[in-house]
Amino acid sequence: MRALLCEHHGPAGELAIRDLPEPVPGPGEVVLAVSAAALNFFDTLIIQGRYQTKPALPFSPSAECAGTIAAIGEGVSGWQLGERVAAWLGFGAAREKVAVPAEALVRVPEKLSDAQAAGLFVTYGTAMHGLIQRAGLKAGETLAILGASGGAGLAAVEIGALLGAHVVACASSPDKLALAREHGAQEEIDYQAHDIRAALKRVTEGRGVDVLYDTVGGDLAEPALRSMAWEGRYLVVGFAGGAIPKIPLNLLLLKGCDMRGVFWGEFVAREPAAHRRNMERLLGWAAGGHIRAHVHAAIPVERWAEAYALIGNRQAKGKVVLTF
């Protein structure tokens, strides 16, 4: 069985494909034959030992995957061999077969490919948790998304639009903004060409942003925070821009606004029932064709360095998926 392994912390080019014994399902587990394993920005950090989750070496990257059930362990009911499923693992998905707790599985709707389904958990799950539980986004509110063309950003665009928000996509080029508009954004801001604070003030007619979904951080964070409406909610989702910003806390006082962290993995562990409700709602949207789950590239696992480069260089518009 082929597995992509991180044997020591370092850049993606130092990962390796190794042959490992096939897993056997334990009680309450199934073995998933993986056809697609999605990558996220944190996968560039976890292999360098720079992420909050630090698996014991060696480990496989990729937190989420899709495929078919290849074996069923003792005590598992309600699942069948060959059934199409997807799962969130946290790490360890970039291998041909993986043992998964049956409770972690979700069925894949017919309208979604395995590559699309593999990328549902982190990006769409984070968007659901961030916009529903953390922000309490209401229909008619203005939602601005920094990094709106990446996997996380596009998910927030789609979920925000489905929840009835006025969605403002913020990205670094016209082609990225065009993709965000295809997914439901009503306004666009190119923050490479325009000052983000002035542009947000213009599109909100001076009122400010009700909810800001920030996947980028870096130099954009402070001017974006200065653009918040009274009682706005600034969601800290990620730092794809590289730098963790230092925020003047007096801005929260002056704006009467909140900054709220969005840590989806911890939410899943602490509030599994709420997570399950989010996923059921999400999969209902997916089955109805309301979610596009855009895949930028599906790349054979042997070309993992190419896949990592797309994410690390911020070239991906949507999800990047390794295929087996």
Domain boundaries, the chain: 2-119+293-323, 123-264
Band (81; pLDDT cuts 50, 70, 90): very high
CATH level 2 (architecture), domain 2-119+293-323:
Alpha-Beta Complex (3.90)
Q: Above 80 in pLDDT, residue 185? A: yes
Same fold for the pair 2-119+293-323 and 123-264:
no
More confident residue, 319 or 236: 236
Average pLDDT, the chain: 95
CATH architecture of 123-264: 3-Layer(aba) Sandwich (3.40)
Q: Please compute the mean of the pLDDT values over residues 201-222 and round it to a whole number.
A: 96
Confidence of residue 286 (pLDDT cuts 50, 70, 90): confident
**Residue 242 clears pLDDT 80, i.e. is over it:** no
Q: What confidence category does residue 96 fall into, taking pLDDT thresholds of 50, 70 and 90?
A: very high
pLDDT band at 291 (very low <50, low <70, confident <90, very high): confident
17-32 average pLDDT score: 98
Q: Give the per-residue SS3 of the chain.
A: CEEEEECCCCCHHHCEEEECCCCCCCCCEEEEEEEEEEECHHHHHHCCCCCCCCCCCCECCCCEEEEEEEEECCCCCCCCCCCEEEEECCCCCCECEEEEEHHHEEECCCCCCHHHHHCHHHHHHHHHHHHHHHCCCCCCCEEEEECCCEHHHHHHHHHHHHCCCEEEEEECCHHHHHHHHHCCCCEEEECCCCCHHHHHHHHCCCCCEEEEEECCCHHHHHHHHCCEEEEEEEEECCCCCCCCCCCCCHHHHHHCCEEEECCHHHHHHHCHHHHHHHHHHHHHHHHCCCCCCCEEEEEEHHHHHHHHHHHHCCCCCEEEEEEC
